[in-house]
Amino acid sequence: MLFAARLQLAIPALLAAAGLMSFQGDPTPFNRLSSGLEYRIYHLENGRYVLRPALPTSGDATYAARIGKIMSLHMQFRTAQDSVLMHSRRQNRNQPVRVPLDTVRRQQHGTVEEALSLLQPGDSGVFRLNVDTVFLKSFRQPVPPFIRRAGSTLTVLAKAEKIQTQEEAVQEAQQAQLKAQAEAKKQAAGLALKEDASILAYLKQNKLKGIKAPGGVYYVITKAGIGAKPKTGQVVSVLYTGMLLNGKVFDASSRNGNKPIEFPLGQGQVIPGWDQGIALLPKGSKAILLIPSALAYGPRGAGADIPANSILRFNVELVGVK
């Protein structure tokens, strides 16, 4: 999603991490709007953050000129006991949150929407809000018990980077996405080279003669079968033991009474390395599959047993094709 259409959709999805932000412990008293929202707003002048004068209790009269535009900003949400609920820089890969600016109506007084209406580009704000008001009006959900136990207020820290038209924001978001994709592709290529070298070293160390398939999987046939190779869509039956390159076993068909796993080949029901590797084996074959992380569980890993970016070894036997 390019923009958060409403804060009640954008913010709850981000509640989960930790970090710090400037002006958190500033002893300067808060200013206050008639709605009860408390705030301190700082603006960068000559390389220093300077406290902006208090606004009229009715709000910022210049906000009308910003309605209909998009604000790019970084945010944090903290409980009354200073526990961090959301840290957008960490949870959004250092990319800003983009929020459409709309008219702040009476039913939004004392909310996150009203707080953001006070910010101009370059401002950093600290806002203290009533937790019941925020969850009822901004998030439209009950206050989670652990937040309520922390106290009656919620602190929001926000740094407004820029305010743009929708067209400008769309263009910038698209450019950022392309840049991120290019960087991810570059990192993936570097990781693939590194893992390829690790697999070759593993083969040499273990005196195995591996073959690299076009898809990237390495395989070593330890017993050649005499049957036909399975085709896409056929159901294959495989006995297996899965392990990391350090020898730690994370899964095996022996744990299920030595009953083979069955799946339709090439349908994405197993990791890509299995779809590729099993297709290379005639029925009856026993083999070792060495699977790069991109064809296994990638950067997310799998539970506690398979860390992120793990090369996997599977000892497999193709016992059936039907």
CATH 3.10.50.40, applies to 7-164: yes
Residue 64 pLDDT exceeds 80: yes
Q: DSSP states of 186-211 as a string?
A: HHHHHHHHHHHHHHHHHHHHTT---E
Cβ(251)–Cβ(302) under 8 Å?
Answer: no
| For range 219-230, the mean pLDDT | 92
The percentage of the chain sitting over the pLDDT mark of 70, rounded to a whole number, equals 92
- Amino acid 93: pLDDT: 72
Residue 7 pLDDT level (bands cut at 50, 70, 90): very low
| For range 170-182, the mean pLDDT | 88
Residue 187 tokens read as 């990192």
Cβ(160)–Cβ(121) under 8 Å?
Answer: yes
Residue 195 identity: E
Residue 15 pLDDT exceeds 90: no
| For range 142-170, the mean pLDDT | 92
| For range 247-267, the mean pLDDT | 89
Residue 37 pLDDT exceeds 90: yes
Q: How far apart are CA 195 and CA 296, in angstroms?
A: 12
Residue 25 pLDDT level (bands cut at 50, 70, 90): low
Residue 249 tokens read as 């076993």
7-164 and 190-321 share one fold: yes
pTM for the whole structure: 0.59
Q: How far apart are CA 120 and CA 111, in angstroms?
A: 17
Cβ(179)–Cβ(185) under 8 Å?
Answer: no
For the chain, the domains span 7-164, 190-321
Residue 26 pLDDT exceeds 80: no
CATH 1.20.950.20, applies to 190-321: no
Beta-carbon count within 10 A of 233 CB: 9
Question: Among 58-72, 91-105, 186-200, 233-247, whose mean pLDDT is lowest?
Answer: 91-105
Cβ(143)–Cβ(131) under 8 Å?
Answer: yes
Residue 10 pLDDT exceeds 80: no
- Amino acid 146: pLDDT: 92
- Amino acid 92: pLDDT: 73
3-class DSSP state of 44:
strand
Q: Which residue has the higher pLDDT, 56 or 25?
A: 56
Residue 238 pLDDT exceeds 50: yes
Average pLDDT across the chain, whole number: 88
Residue 307 tokens read as 């860390």
